[in-house]
Chains A and B, each alone.
Chain A
Amino acid sequence: MTDQLAARTAVPSCHSDAGGRSAAPGAPVVALAGSPNVGKSTLFNALTGARRQMGNWPGTSVEVGRGSWALGDARVPEVALIDLPGAYSLDPASPDEELTRDLLIGAPPDERPDLVIVTVDAAHLARSLYLVAQVREHALRVVVALTMADIAARRGIHVDAHALGAHLGAPAVDVDPRHRSGRASLGEVVAETLHQPVPVPRPLPEMDLGADMGADLDALDADLALADSRFAWVDEAVRAASRTEATGRSTWSDRIDAVVTSRLWGPLVFLGAMWLVFQVTTTVAAPLQDALDTLFTGPVSEGARRLLGLVGLGGTPVEGFVVNGLIAGVGMLLTFAPLMALMFLLLALLEDSGYLARAAVVTDRLMRSIGLPGRAFLPLVVGFGCNVPAISATRTLPNARHRIMTALLVPLTSCSARLTVYVLMATTFFPRQAGTVVFLMYVLSIALVILLGLALRATLWRRVGDEPLILDLPPYQRPHLRLMADQTWVRLRTFLQTAGGIIVATVTIVWLLQATPAGPGHGSFGDVPAEDSAYAATAMAVAPVFEPAGFGEWRTSSALVVGFVAKEAVISSWAQTFAVSEPSSSDQPGRLGELVRADFERSSGGHGAVAAVAFMVFLLAYTPCVATVATQRREIGLRWTLFGIAVQLAMAWTLAVLVFQVGRVFW
């Protein structure tokens, strides 16, 4: 028992005959070390051929390969080769690295391997050489096996093995284990080195840094200083031994990046790209949208009416619910399917090509220039998809003030549900500039985030700390059609599923309220004029508030009330309300836009287009939906949530009134 325990806790030795290696007894032990993915195991297989075995190292769950390697040298015919687990450094961060550390430097000197081959990736010299720096600090014979020279050459990196070896104080040999070349040279060098005395360890850096920086260097600083000195040594070796030529590919990518991430052009390119997305989306999708509209208002509604008539439900409230509610609402949502699909496709194109990563750099820089925390970038980007998970994502911010501030800003990012309303309004009032109008709503959304962020900083939190953020840019690539199509389909499907669910629920509630008389004398349930329903009464009570903004019509304010619940339902409830209140004209395709236009012209005294802009501004800025409010409450508490709702309503109303009152003077 004690022996077992001892065996488990003792520092493992390369010379213990645990598991039985196949080399002759007394053969020198050579350990093969290196970071993961540098071709170490391929090299091991190439060197040992069939004479190897894999298995867990005794007392650990770490797999280690062992075998014999015939060097073909008269003095050293054979060595026992141990394939150590991949390790980036001797400061272990995993059980694999721990075993490598133990085997190389943990055991007493006479039980350590006779020689260590460190596999080094020529394409990533700096990353691979850190381990060499550490191994060289110990009394060990070291040989460097330089792999991946072909990949490095393709990237324009050329490594001179001789110069590298001279700088490292350990011979370096080019090997290509995949093509089994360089094995003989490596064998010769290993045999030769085994005959040399153990080299003097590279002196540890003098910690005179401590004297420079103050005597009280804590352990963390000491670690950093030590690692820094090793990196300086590595950097010198890289400079001495490698030469990088500019390849056409990197210059091409660099040239594009120089423009798309520049401080001046970057934001302009980003805005241009987004403008193009909305322009293409609205222009190309418009005919498809019209065709679907015709389909739902015509054959589908007509078919449903006939079907209900056949089963004796014609002219009943059930017909109203199915045709004016479900078919009008869900049909209206489906007309947006081509538009959403196209937008998702274009965004997938930007994402897959690598451009969206550059856009992230541009927007991050913008945010930091106005003092918003760098990490808040993630929730705000997510917010353009949907505000709910964006607010949940504020949890990643370590600082409570950052969390509250970001959760208050997220609702101003224009989520995809709001897009449907912008498109209807823009195509109705500005048919020729619809894409530009929708694009400008997104620009306004970003502007509002910035303005409210600045206002919160100036008033509530004067000392919100900044946290740097760095983005590593992926290379540009040719977008993959299949991947884009998959992504677009999944996003479209889930959008329709969620929005569909919300719409069916709100359509039902709106229908119930529309079927309920506002009071005695207004009719009975299911037989009440639209203007006398409980729904209209609620909307009419709210409508006067919007008169200064030019859209104080009850049908418009009812859409805004429904929009408080969910923006997905704004258009469907509009369609439903008009179907009930204007039954004769709403069953023609494309009529919803005209009916909305007529309402706006009436309520604004002839300034319909200005009122429409004011309406879109209000819709952008006020509370996005109850789900967002619920999430806000969970994340930042009731008090801040109420504060947020109040600020947003005040801001939305003020902006809408301002837009209408100023706009109608000029237009």
Chain B
Amino acid sequence: MSTPGPLSAVLAALREGATSLDEVARGTGLARDTVSAAVDHLVRLGRIEASDLAVGCPTGGCGSCASGTETGEAGCGSTPSPRRSGPVLVALSIPRR
């Protein structure tokens, strides 16, 4: 059995429930930069989906929320701020077998 490469190791760490890239780096023993590159590559391969998560209220303000948006799109928190300081949310989609 060949040893799993960085991509498999990162994917396995994500499946096991790591919640941050630092945690993945600690769990796999890979460099933080390698983990980050591996996650980006997994996104390119369609193995995981990455979506921005703006924490807190949007720049439009909570007050605008009461009416919601006409299109039914999320208002609060769904628009990343111009200078993103929130976390990046990556949801892992398990490939079908």
Contact = CB atoms under 8 A, between A and B. Distances in A.
Interface of A: 88-89, 91, 93, 124-127, 130, 157, 208-209, 212, 220, 223-224, 227-229, 231-232, 234-235, 238-239, 244, 254, 257, 261, 344, 347-348, 350-352, 354, 356-357, 359-361, 364-365, 368, 374-375, 377-379, 381-382, 385-386, 388-390, 392-393, 395-396, 415-417, 467-474, 477, 483, 487, 490-499, 502, 566, 568, 625, 627, 631, 634-635
Contact of B61 (A232, A234, A493): A493
Closest 9 CB pairs of A and B: A386-B65, A495-B63, A494-B61, A494-B63, A228-B5, A393-B74, A389-B75, A491-B61, A232-B5
Contacts of B45: 220, 223-224, 227
11 contacts: A220-B45, A220-B95, A238-B33, A360-B86, A361-B19, A378-B53, A382-B75, A389-B77, A474-B85, A495-B61, A498-B64
A208 B2 CA distance: 8
A498 B63 contact: yes
A257 B75 contact: no
Contacts of A228: 4-8
B2 to A, nearest CB: 6
Contacts of A377: 53, 89
Contact of A471 (B20, B40, B65, B77): B20
Contacts of B7: 224, 227-228, 231
Given A393-B74, A487-B59, A130 B37 contact: yes
B68 A375 contact: no
Contact of A392 (B24, B31, B64, B74): B74
Contacts of A498: 63-67
Contact of B66 (A359, A417, A634): A417
Contacts of B69: 389, 392
* Interface of B (DSSP majority class): loop
Given A566-B66, A634-B72, 6 more contacts: A89-B44, A130-B37, A235-B30, A347-B57, A382-B78, A498-B63
Contacts, number: 255
Contacts of A490: 59-61
Contacts of B55: 351, 356-357, 359-360, 381
A285 to B, nearest CB: 17
Interface in B31-56: 31, 33-34, 36-41, 44-47, 51, 53, 55-56
Contact of A468 (B15, B47, B61): B15
B57 A385 contact: yes
Nearest to A233: B5
A510 B58 CA distance: 32
A47 to B, nearest CB: 27
Contact of A126 (B24, B33, B85): B33
